[in-house]
Amino acid sequence: MKVIRAESDYRAAMGTIDRLLDRNPEAGTADAEELEVLTVLVEEYERRTTDIGLPDPISAIEFRMEQQGLRQKDLVPYLGSRSKVSEVLSGKRTLTLNMIRALHSGLGIPAEVLLQGRYPDGDPHRIRRTGPEDYEMSVSLPVDSDGLLGRECPDVTCSPGYFKIKPGTGFTETQPTAHCPYCRREADPSEFHTREQVRYAVDTAKDEVLKGVDRMVRDGLALGSSGRKKLEGGLISMELQYKPGRRPPIRWPIEEELRRDMHCDHCGLDHAVFGLATWCPDCGRDLFLQHVGAEFEVVRKILGEVPARLERLGPRVAAKDTEKALEDLVSIFEAVLKIITRRHLLVGGTSVGEAEDILHKTVKNSYQNIAAAETTFRELTGRELFGSIDDTDKTFLDSVFAKRHPITHNLGVVDRRYLERARSGELEGRGVRVMPEEVEDAATKAFAVLRDAYDGGLFS
């Protein structure tokens, strides 16, 4: 035996395989060993030279029937009965080993074609035989009610690591790499399966194996769909009954809910993330400011509903909505500045642990206050934070941000600390007054400050 390099070698090997199959060699014999080695050589040659798969067993049988002018009743000697012929040709019955031997020797249908039927191809998993004892199957992963598919960063240290994409958007052709939106880990798209999806695929494969074993037992014992068979001979009559155990249920993958839906303007991918992610999972482009802009847009939508809420539910509910919008605005400003600061520190060589310590011990909550934010940002980055707005706008931002303290900590009632910080003319003990228009104006100015900080060359 030698490596198959040419078509003539291939034809010679196939002829030898057919002759060996006719002998039906027992395992462990020289013929059986030769058959196994030749099969491997043939499969390797076919893999190298062609991408055309084998025809399915039913198509091969029907083709031979047409060639030889056979009708269904002519297959009874090979398959056993007219009912079995009908069941095999309709795909309801899998070929048994005895049927395969009979069809191979009687009609000359290649054994490797008929053996595919031991594990049927087709819906829903496109199972196909790839070797003597190997099969390949495709498991379709379910999407959520919004059509989004869960993904998980292959780097186990990445947090949060979990995101979703919408199949059919973004790169719809072959995609060589995908990206984590949080850490920008680049890898083959197949490496972003979630642990739940892997578990679901394994459960599905196990279920198909159990169904395959069930079919083999039924076919091997010729039990048919009833699972019963009578054995009669002389004075003795027996009934064989087969009841397979209940297969374990396949649990669908458990997906997490994400509240931030995004659309990449570069490649068109619709996706969802936790928090403020940075990169597009498909094209890998920087979407951080797009994420930040989306957060500010939520604040504007809340403010846009205030007049209707005032009319329907009264002034206190409308005031609460405005106060909530202000709290969200300050929280966004603080979170974004911390992300920018952390990334600047990491790019500059600071370790992850040291960066977290700086945010926890040095930054603390200073980014909630305009004056403190200016000082802290300058000390940690060497850059001015408010270079994109003038002093009047900065003073305005400071006055609006200062109103968050009594809202968050004192039910909106003016206290001495607020009066000292804001130098306001409001009276102690009265409710702090926040207008939707000033919160919206503050949101516009705050976004301009953050955009300038992010685009200011801190990461180069």
Q: If you write DSSP's letter for every residue of 217-268 in order, what string do you get?
A: HHHHTT-TTTTEEEEEETTEEEEEE--PPPPPP-PPPP-----EEEE-TTT-
At a CB cut-off of 8 Å and minimum separation 6, what does 45 contact?
A: 4, 5, 9, 10, 13
In this structure, the chain runs to a length of 460
The two three-digit tokens of residue 59, written as one number: 């198509």
Q: Is residue 124 within 8 Å of 204, Cβ to Cβ?
A: no
Element (DSSP H or E) covering residue 150: strand 149-152
Half-sphere exposure of 296 (CA within 13 A, CB side): 22
The two three-digit tokens of residue 213, written as one number: 């074993």
180: helix, strand or coil: coil
Q: Which residues pair with 270 in a beta bridge?
A: 263
**What gap in Å lies between CA 102 and CA 85, rounded to an integer?**
13
At a CB cut-off of 8 Å and minimum separation 6, what does 217 contact?
A: 223, 242, 244
**What gap in Å lies between CA 424 and CA 435, rounded to an integer?**
15
Q: Determine the pLDDT at residue 303.
A: 95
Q: Determine the pLDDT at residue 425.
A: 47
Q: Determine the pLDDT at residue 334.
A: 95
The two three-digit tokens of residue 249, written as one number: 């249920």
The two three-digit tokens of residue 385, written as one number: 């934070």
Residue with tokens 């000033």: 438
208: helix, strand or coil: helix
DSSP 413: B
- What are the CA-CA distances from residue 311 to residues 242, 299, 300, 342 (Å)? 72, 20, 18, 44
- pTM value is 0.62
Q: Determine the pLDDT at residue 422.
A: 52
- What are the CA-CA distances from residue 319 to residues 252, 331, 397 (Å)? 44, 18, 19
Half-sphere exposure of 99 (CA within 13 A, CB side): 28
SS3 of 377-426: HHHHHCCCCCCCCCHHHHHHHHHHHHCHHHHHHCCCECCHHHHHHHCCCC
**What gap in Å lies between CA 221 and CA 228, rounded to an integer?**
9
The one-digit pLDDT tens for each residue of the chain (460 residues) are 667 777 788 888 888 888 887 888 787 788 878 877 888 777 777 766 654 556 778 888 988 898 899 999 999 999 989 888 988 888 777 787 778 888 988 888 887 777 765 555 444 666 766 665 667 788 888 888 888 999 999 998 888 899 999 988 998 777 788 999 999 999 998 899 999 999 999 998 888 888 877 777 776 667 766 777 777 766 777 777 878 778 888 888 887 887 789 999 999 999 999 888 899 999 999 999 999 999 999 999 999 999 999 999 998 899 889 989 999 999 999 999 999 999 999 999 999 899 999 999 999 999 999 999 999 999 999 999 999 899 999 999 998 998 887 777 655 555 556 545 554 545 444 557 889 999 999 999 999 999 999 987 777 6
Q: Determine the pLDDT at residue 411.
A: 55
Q: Is residue 42 within 8 Å of 17, Cβ to Cβ?
A: yes
Buried-state track 53-90, b at ≥16 Cβ within 10 A, e below 16 = ebebbbebbeebbeeeeeeeeebeebbbeeebbebbbe
Tally of CB atoms within 10 A around 102: 19
Q: Is residue 93 within 8 Å of 87, Cβ to Cβ?
A: yes
**What gap in Å lies between CA 231 and CA 174, rounded to an integer?**
57
Extents of the domains making up the chain: 7-136, 149-194+262-273, 197-241, 288-454
Nearest to 210 by CA among 250, 261, 268: 250
The most distant pair of C-alpha atoms in the chain lies apart, rounded to whole Å, by 112
Nearest to 64 by CA among 96, 99, 90, 103: 103
Element (DSSP H or E) covering residue 60: helix 57-68
Nearest to 13 by CA among 37, 32, 31, 33: 37
Nearest to 141 by CA among 252, 257, 258, 271: 252
**What gap in Å lies between CA 288 and CA 277, rounded to an integer?**
6
